Amino acid sequence: MTTPALHSRAPASLAGLLASGRPLVMGILNITPDSFSDGGQFLDPPAAIDHARRLIAEGADLIDIGAESTRPYGGAQPVTLDEEIARLTPVLPAAVALGAPVSIDTLKSKVAAWALDHGAAIVNDVWGFQRDHDMARVVAAYGVPAIVMHNRDAADPAIDIMADVETFFARSLDIAGRAGIARGHIVLDPGVGFGKTPEQSMMVIAQLGRLKKFGLPLLVGASRKRFISTVSPCEPQQRLGGSIAAHLMAVANGAAIVRTHDVAETVQALKVTRAIAGQK
């Protein structure tokens, strides 16, 4: 699979990983009490650091750390700036020291700046520079890559979701360009489960190829998402099979990165798929 590489200004670790041509696996580390799937499991700093170490041992290329839930189905509690940084302080620098590039998943530009000062290499903005209007400036000032995710305040089953995603990304890229962010520093994420019906979440995976026109790496995070349960009713921790199926479809349709809670199983599935494809 050929994927667009980040420009040379990006950290060599991420650029080199993307240039390898194989799909990358981003492991999820939520240090939150209320994330939809693993809330509360890694609030204790030693447990969080051990989990980051485990994700890397299982084959994660990148670690995405979040200290405020961005769960798309409601019920997440807002976190103050000080509280978010307090949760990150004993965990993020230690995770950075493990050697894999670390992404900071945050809604706040001040948290992003703090994390970048403490070794994070990537900013993951679930509102694509369109909620905290200082986020693009921070990313530009630090010269780091950013994951730009599509989002909506509410799902609307009547809209053309792919057209909405494309319009959103065009706006985000305009904001990024005006802030001075190199276009090649951006990864696009269509936001499976965010502001979408279950059918729309499946559609963005099925039609992911439409986003190739932007010429940027694509990330898909379908791990344990609710749409899986609409096809095969189950609780979040029982959605491994559906998560892997969605991520394999995403890679087949052009995803360069998949974001998952279940790293070992996802890595294995990708390796086997690649090995079978190599026998053609």
pLDDT at 43 over 60: yes
Write down the pLDDT at residue 2: 41
Q: What is the mean pLDDT of residues 36-47?
A: 71
Tell me the average pLDDT across 196-210.
98
Q: Assess contact for 122 and 147: CB atoms under 8 A.
A: yes
3-state secondary structure of 11: coil
**Which tokens belong to 250?**
């995403």
Q: Within a domain: residue 201?
A: yes
Does residue 88 contact residue 67 with C-beta atoms inside 8 Å? yes
Give the percent of the chain with pLDDT over 90.
85
Across 56-121, the runs of DSSP E, i.e. the strands, are 62-66, 102-105
The total number of structural domains in the chain stands at: 1
Amino acid at position 159, single letter: I
Give the model's confidence band at 11: pLDDT under 50 very low, under 70 low, under 90 confident, else very high.
Answer: very low
C-alpha 150/C-alpha 45 separation (Å) is 30
Q: What CATH number corresponds to the domain at position 272? A: 3.20.20.20
Domain that holds residue 258: 12-277
Return the higher-pLDDT residue of 217 and 8: 217
Q: How distant, in Å, are the alpha carbons of 58, 94, 252 from that of 50?
A: 12, 10, 32
Residue 270 has pLDDT above 50, yes or no: yes
pTM of the model: 0.92
Domain contains 69 = yes
- Residue 12's pLDDT band, with cuts at 50, 70 and 90, is very low
Structure confidence by residue, pLDDT tens digits, 124-158: 999 999 999 999 999 999 999 999 999 999 999 99
Catalytic residues: 225, 259
In a domain, 7, yes or no: no
Q: Which residue has the tokens 């494309």?
A: 166
Determine the Cα–Cα distance for residues 130 and 115; give it in Å rounded to an integer.
Answer: 20
Residue 165 lies in a domain: yes
Note the pLDDT of residue 71: 60
Residue 229 lies in a domain: yes
Q: Is residue 5 included in any domain, yes or no? A: no
pLDDT digits (tens, 9 = 90+) for 66-110: 999 876 555 557 889 999 999 999 999 999 999 999 999 999 999
Q: 184 φ, ψ to 5°?
A: -75, 5
Q: Is 207 helix (H, G, I), strand (E, B) or coil?
A: coil
Mean pLDDT computed over every residue of the chain: 91
Does 2 fall in a domain? no
Q: Is 126 within 8 Å of 70 (Cβ atoms)? A: yes
Q: Are 224 and 25 in contact (CB under 8 A)?
A: no
- Identify whether 117 is part of a domain: yes
Which of 122, 132, 129 has its CA nearest to residue 219? 122
Measured distance CA(223)–CA(174) in Å, rounded: 29
Q: Is the pLDDT of residue 34 over 70?
A: no
